[in-house]
Structure 1
């Protein structure tokens, strides 16, 4: 009796597809917290998707030769695996996606080539399926629309905080001393505002490589700017925000702004936020080139000049603007929920205005 009531609402494959909701919820939460999602996250969705693809493919092949059922299933699978899945790889290669974003989109393409259907007592979900019927494409278009709303949300946040600037749609301001607690990229350089500022993951990697903290660096900028002060280096990690603080080789500012001795007995620089960049010339200010030459791989494409300019900005200014960005898996999760409940927002909009 129970089995009959369950299958009356949805097919077993469509029930199983709901496992994507908790998986994407966990991935979105973890992506917000760490900007990292383990590869193993997507393996259950890949495995389930291929199994369901085989089951539904066999059912479609069992239909009479030349029937519309075969043709419809084949078209949806081709669009999902041949268009949506490669888009994830393409966006990753172009730098628009992270690796986790690409894997998430491919997992959707494998798991949802067709629309799931849930016949509830009050309605059949999704309410607004697209005419093409490729569910992964619906999730992708919903994701893009959700992502486009993020700048508006950011602007409202800035307005409520009393911030009014053209940057209010792409970033927010923060105390320089707390910027290492955030994910994103600086929107400022010594020469002005720019979308090409220092990646904050690269900043954390640099600080860990030096075995210092942002607070120590801001308190003793002259000392830290001298590459000769780098006597020992450490593994830089991957730039994730961590609760533990690395061992420091620098001082920190006292409450009244006076100098304080550093760990090795040197005095911290007076007036750590003096508003001017130290003018002492060095062959490699901050040891930026040495850092990038020493680590394995790349610090998210950061150049020595970007690192130097970012550090100069943090030393010069008490507050800075940065773009927090939005992990793509977050709007993808929202787009998935909207697709399950409402359906295809873009298709419904086009139909409402008579374009389809």
Structure 2
């Protein structure tokens, strides 16, 4: 049986390439929280071509078509794109999330149209007609379900805490492959604990596993136990050969083991438990904004607790992928929802 024919313009058909790309990016984001920058280059180039293509068509069309396209492109590029950058600046989005939304802003200034077997998609459009704005609001609405799902899951399993709506309890031995932020300090719960990527970087830098750290806590808390030749810390990703630092390769590619030998020089060891400040000073890039205090508190918790609360965060590419697919098929969830409750269209 032949596939159903799709009636659409060439630019709109090319825009469908975002679906498999965003689908792969969502899978990658869930698995590793890392998406290569090169993922967005082809889509960005396609967006520039399609903007020029449809811009020329609008320019040579009727005055209404010219004004309509210009207005929607201006809203998409002049409002949605800066809004996304603002979200990124205030850390509501990650870097990959912001790049993906910028691609959407450039690729979808207007609503696409697909006719399949007599059905025209998207089913619900807005009067404004800026499709990137629809994708953005759909993504936010889909993403808002995540904290609710976390809360319900924790309540259903009897896991009650002041952070139960943003986190989940995790056994200590699962931490090397978990994403997110620790929601505990030795003093209690917190919303600003150490990033687990930074913990992995620290362990790899020292050539330790988390089990090593728990077994030799007193000795390893002393910065005099820091290795003379630390390992490259990496970026904390979990898709490396080893999730933590056991047998981490040295700069010359040899296998190293933790050492209890002190470095040649150490300044006031008691002022730097775990060598946290020494680690952050030694690496050639940041550790996701981690401070020595955050790292020390996180290591103290991980060294003692059997189970810890972790905020896995929202891999935002996943709701972006879902929001984009919903937008292409159904349309604007917010616009339709306002209609359901009797609020006039805008």
Q: How many residues align?
A: 324
Query: Quick check: 1:346 aligned with 2:343?
Result: no
Query: Quick check: 1:215 aligned with 2:211?
Result: yes
* TM-score between the two structures when normalised by the length of structure 2: 0.89
Query: Quick check: 1:238 aligned with 2:226?
Result: no
Query: Which structure 2 segments of 5+ residues have no match?
Result: 249-256, 262-268
SS of the residue 2:158 aligns to: coil
Which of residues 105, 116, 122 in structure 2 aligns to 1:120? 116
Residue 122 (structure 1) shift: 4.7
Give the corresponding residue for 1:46.
Answer: 44
Distance 1:207 1:94 in 2: 29
In 1, are the aligned partners of 2:80 and 2:132 still within 8 Å (CA)?
yes
Q: Cα RMSD (Å) of the superposition?
A: 2.1
The 5 Å alignment of 1:220-299 reads 220-231=216-227, 232-242=229-239, 244-245=241-242, 246-248=245-247, 282-299=270-287
Query: Quick check: 1:173 aligned with 2:161?
Result: no
Q: Deviations over 1:262-282 (max 9, x none)?
A: 97799xxxxxxxxxxxxxx82
Distance 1:303 1:295 in 2: 13
Give the corresponding residue for 2:313.
Answer: 325
Distance 1:301 1:61 in 2: 47
The 5 Å alignment of 1:144-163 reads 144-163=140-159
Give the corresponding residue for 2:302.
Answer: 314
Distance 1:114 1:263 in 2: 57
Structure 1 residues 144, 265: closer, same or farther in 2, change over 3 A?
closer
In 1, are the aligned partners of 2:208 and 2:258 still within 8 Å (CA)?
no
In 1, are the aligned partners of 2:276 and 2:295 still within 8 Å (CA)?
yes
Structure 1 residues 264, 200: closer, same or farther in 2, change over 3 A?
closer
SS of the residue 1:167 aligns to: coil
In 1, are the aligned partners of 2:224 and 2:260 still within 8 Å (CA)?
no
Q: Deviations over 1:83-125 (max 9, x none)?
A: 1112222222222222111110110011100111111225211
Distance 1:242 1:61 in 2: 48
In 2, are the aligned partners of 1:216 and 1:248 still within 8 Å (CA)?
no
Give the corresponding residue for 1:35.
Answer: 33
Query: Quick check: 1:91 aligned with 2:90?
Result: no
Distance 1:311 1:140 in 2: 38
Give the corresponding residue for 2:251.
Answer: none
Distance 2:163 2:123 in 1: 38
Distance 1:295 1:51 in 2: 41
Structure 1 residues 264, 236: closer, same or farther in 2, change over 3 A?
closer
Structure 1 residues 156, 60: closer, same or farther in 2, change over 3 A?
same
* TM-score between the two structures when normalised by the length of structure 1: 0.86
Distance 1:165 1:301 in 2: 26
In 1, are the aligned partners of 2:44 and 2:107 still within 8 Å (CA)?
yes
Distance 2:49 2:259 in 1: 61
Residue 162 (structure 1) shift: 3.5
Structure 1 residues 82, 229: closer, same or farther in 2, change over 3 A?
same
Distance 1:263 1:238 in 2: 20
Residue 160 (structure 1) shift: 4.2
Query: Quick check: 1:109 aligned with 2:105?
Result: yes
